[in-house]
């Protein structure tokens, strides 16, 4: 997957309880087939701990809405097979992907985090948009 091959470059960011989530989605044309209704979008996520406590990402909850307004939810432990621990000032980045059958859609969600003292809290993942640019012209 080569996210740089896309023309899409919008970045979305939101901070909850000193944890900043920044997402950059991209259309992946070489792994998509628009004529067959197959659109693959990659998204690069940075999770930055701007707080004073160590935190651990426990789980994720994604809400994915396609261009037909059909909603799909994805829940699971960690991200990309990891439950990263972030000390104050540290960041964790990863790239994942979302296939759609429509040329547009959006994603949003939450990460469940915990602190060293055992406090658990949800961090909002900003609403971001998935767009196959050729279909919008």
Supply the pTM of this predicted model: 0.89
Q: Can you list the domains of the chain with their CATH numbers?
A: 3-131 (2.60.40.1470)
Q: What percent of the chain has pLDDT over 90?
A: 88
pLDDT tens-digit series, residues 83-108: 999 999 999 999 999 999 999 999 99
pLDDT range class, residue 41, cuts 50, 70, 90: very high
Residue 120 CA: distances (Å) to CA of 17, 30, 55, 81, 116: 11, 40, 9, 20, 10
Mean pLDDT within 60-89? 97
Tokens of 42: 């990659």
**Beta-carbon count within 10 A of 122 CB:** 15
Q: In what order do the strands lie in the sheet with 39-49?
A: 12-16, 19-27, 39-49, 91-100
**pLDDT of res. 132:** 87
Mean pLDDT within 62-85? 97
Indicate the average pLDDT of the chain: 92
pLDDT of 13 over the 50 cut: yes
Mean pLDDT within 123-129? 98
């Amino acid at each position: 997957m080569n996210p740089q091959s896309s023309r899409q470059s919008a970045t979305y960011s939101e901070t909850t309880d000193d944890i900043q989530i920044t997402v950059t989605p991209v259309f992946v044309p070489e792994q998509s087939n628009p004529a067959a209704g197959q659109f693959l979008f990659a998204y690069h996520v940075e999770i930055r701990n701007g707080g004073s406590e160590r935190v651990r990402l426990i789980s994720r909850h994604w809400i994915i809405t396609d261009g037909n307004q059909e909603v799909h939810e994805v829940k699971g432990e960690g991200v990309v097979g990891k439950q990263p621990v972030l000390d104050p000032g540290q960041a964790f980045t990863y790239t994942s992907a979302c296939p759609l059958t429509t040329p547009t859609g959006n994603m949003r969600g939450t990460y469940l985090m915990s602190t060293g003292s055992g406090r658990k809290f949800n961090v909002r993942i900003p609403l971001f948009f998935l767009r196959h640019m050729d279909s919008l012209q």
